[in-house]
């Protein structure tokens, strides 16, 4: 174990975190900026000192940092986070430069070179871009560079946003083949209630989604300098945990303790094995281009036998898609049961619906969605 004695990790309260060789750390805007003063260099520097010490111990860090828009507010004399897209993009343009420069100067004190990686959702929803992001992060780490990742707010529109950097961090944790994910904000963990309005107890460990079934997390925060909230952090934690990456949700003030494996914040244990890149991309990062409506028999075949989807079980099709685009597979009750890469263009589908494979022309006798190009979802479609 590079840079960390095995005994140190095993003696920690959370050895899977203490022993993680490569860690993705996400920090929110509220931990780095103030609304009237913009970027808080002292708070950023304090976080860098923690991460610099972790790097010096031989571990690798990928930092997902919010704060670009917030850092641009003060220089542009903006009192609140802009509500219109153009002004938000302008603030990000100014703030991103300041944020990157401050990180570069702060990490330089620790002899660490940083590299900026700006992503939009489109960079991860397209398979080729997803692979390129992986290769870029891998190469930066191999060169000894600490990647600083942020959503590219200067060009991202509402249609191609991640929505929050918590989800981005969960996706980056898989892209970077990380051993652990630490989500930092101004809240010290997940509570079983709202500590601002009454008694609430910090939840130490989450082993499965049912552990939080009775917990009200509230909606994402849109005021002040940040966009996220506890609900977005929990969603991101579940994405990572189901992909085999343990997660700690805690405050930025407890970053050093969390990375050392101490019992701070809320730990989300692994809830699955690390999937292949294609399977993970299909489930969490792909953007469906259309829907295939299935009859009950096809739903059972897909869910119970994980069979390929044939034309005979399809009753309807919506959307404009091309062959190899991701589509949703939806049952008669409007539940999305799977997501997969379709073998045909949308314009070809109407002539195939409900027909047995043997009755089709030879060039159309392959599966509509092959089982190896499919992931099961089984969730209610929203909207």
Same domain, 298 and 171: no
Residue 331 has pLDDT above 80, yes or no: yes
Residues 147 and 125 in one domain: yes
**C-alpha radius of gyration, the chain, whole number:** 22
Q: What does the block give as tokens for 260?
A: 């050392």
Same structural domain, 109 and 224 = yes
Same domain as 144, residue 20 = yes
List the beta strands (DSSP E) in 113-236: 113-119, 145-151, 180-185, 205-206
Q: Domain of 144: which CATH number?
A: 3.40.1160.10
Domain tally for the chain?
2
Lowest-confidence range among 82-96, 208-222, 260-274, 304-318?
208-222
130 and 152 share one domain: yes
- Write out the E strands in 85-207: 113-119, 145-151, 180-185, 205-206
Contacts (Cβ under 8 Å, ≥6 apart) of 102: 39, 41, 44
pLDDT of residue 2: 44
This model's pTM is above 0.75: yes
The two tokens of residue 28 are 């929110």
Average pLDDT, the chain: 86
Can you tell me the distance from the alpha carbon of 144 to that of 55, in angstroms, rounded to the nearest whole number? Answer: 10
Of the candidate ranges 32-41, 240-249, 293-302, the one whose mean pLDDT is the lowest: 32-41
Domain boundary among 260, 280, 300: 280
Q: Are residues 196 and 81 in the same domain?
A: yes
Pick from 245, 280, 315: which residue ends a domain? 280
Q: Are 162 and 267 in a shared domain? A: yes
Q: What domain range is 293 assigned to? A: 288-380
Same domain membership, residue 208 and residue 310? no
pLDDT digits (tens, 9 = 90+) for 268-289: 999 988 877 777 878 887 789 9
The answer as to whether 263 is a domain residue is yes
Task: Answer yes or no: do 70 and 215 share one domain.
Answer: yes
Q: Is residue 1 part of a domain?
A: no
Residues 226 and 117 in one domain: yes
Do 269 and 294 fall within a single domain? no
Extended beta strands in 180-246, E state: 180-185, 205-206
Q: What is the CATH number of the domain that holds 343?
A: 2.30.130.10
Nearest-angstrom CA–CA distance, 300 and 315: 15
CB neighbours (10 Å) of residue 262? Answer: 17
């Amino acid at each position: 174990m590079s840079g960390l004695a095995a005994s140190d990790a095993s003696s920690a309260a959370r050895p899977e975190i203490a022993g993680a060789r490569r860690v993705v750390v996400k920090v929110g805007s509220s931990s780095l900026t103030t609304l009237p003063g913009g970027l808080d260099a002292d708070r950023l520097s304090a976080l860098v000192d923690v991460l610099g010490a972790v790097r010096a111990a031989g571990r690798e860090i990928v930092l997902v940092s919010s704060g670009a828009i917030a850092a641009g507010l003060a220089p542009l004399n903006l009192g609140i986070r802009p509500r219109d897209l153009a002004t938000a993009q302008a603030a990000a343009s100014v703030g991103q430069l300041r944020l990157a420069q401050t990180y570069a100067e702060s990490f330089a004190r620790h002899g660490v070179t940083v590299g900026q990686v700006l992503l939009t959702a489109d960079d991860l929803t397209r398979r080729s871009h997803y692979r390129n992001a992986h290769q870029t992060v891998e190469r930066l780490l191999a060169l000894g560079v600490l990647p600083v990742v942020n959503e590219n707010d200067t060009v991202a529109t509402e249609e191609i946003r991640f929505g929050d950097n918590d989800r981005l961090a969960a996706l980056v944790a898989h892209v970077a083949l990380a051993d652990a994910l630490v989500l930092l904000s101004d809240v010290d963990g997940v509570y079983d209630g709202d500590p601002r309005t009454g008694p609430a107890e910090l939840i130490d460990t989450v082993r499965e989604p049912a552990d939080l079934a009775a917990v009200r997390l509230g909606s994402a925060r849109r005021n002040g300098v940040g966009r996220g909230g506890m609900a977005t952090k929990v969603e991101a934690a579940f994405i990572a945990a189901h992909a085999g990456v343990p997660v700690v949700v805690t405050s930025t003030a407890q970053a050093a303790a969390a990375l050392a494996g101490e019992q701070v914040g809320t730990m989300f244990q692994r809830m699955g094995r690390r999937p292949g890149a294609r399977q993970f991309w299909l489930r969490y990062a792909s953007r469906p281009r259309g829907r295939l409506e299935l009859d009950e028999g096809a739903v059972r075949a897909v869910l119970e036998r994980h069979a390929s989807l044939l034309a005979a079980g399809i009753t309807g099709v919506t959307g404009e898609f091309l062959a190899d685009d991701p589509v949703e597979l939806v049952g008669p009750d409007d539940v999305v049961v799977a997501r997969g890469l379709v073998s045909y263009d949308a314009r070809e589908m109407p002539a195939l619906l409900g027909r047995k494979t043997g009755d089709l022309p030879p060039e159309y006798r392959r599966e509509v969605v092959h089982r190896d190009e499919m992931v099961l979802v089984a969730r209610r479609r929203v909207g």
